[in-house]
Amino acid sequence: DVKVTQSSRYLVKRTGEKVFLECVQDMDHENMFWYRQDPGLGLRLIYFSYDVKMKEKGDIPEGYSVSREKKERFSLILESASTNQTSMYLCASRVSLGGTVTFSGANVLTFGAGSRLTVL
């Protein structure tokens, strides 16, 4: 029962190509996230979306854009891929935390299996 699906497990692209990474969740979650994972740096947040058509920049948004036209789908776009964007990309989703600070183990992120992108 896969809950967060990333369409491509491995991609190889050329410098300058436009790259789409797709993520779909079937849990009716409001919040979705794109992280980038690099050795020694851990996971760094690129963008997140807290609702349909809503997005917010993370810590490293440069060179990336996102699209969330439907609740279940969150796409990461590399307008012109560069070699320094070679990385593992992880998508995640979560229920909305609402307007109050509610800390619960249920508010964890559910991750996809990741997309390993190589830009030549």
Residues lying near another protein in the complex (CB under 8 A) are found at 31, 33, 35, 40-45, 48, 50, 56, 58, 88, 90, 92, 97, 100-101, 103-105, 107-114, 116
Whether residue 74 contacts residue 60, with contact meaning beta carbons closer than 8 Å, is answered with no
Nearest distance, CB of residue 92 and another protein, angstroms: 7
Question: Of 17 and 97, which CB lies nearer to another protein in the complex structure?
Answer: 97
Nearest distance, CB of residue 119 and another protein, angstroms: 19
In this structure, the strands spanning 10-13 and 115-119 are parallel
Question: Of 45 and 77, which CB lies nearer to another protein in the complex structure?
Answer: 45
Q: For the residues of 48-74, what is the DSSP string, one character each?
A: EEEETTEEEE-S--TT-EEEEEETTEE
Nearest distance, CB of residue 55 and another protein, angstroms: 11
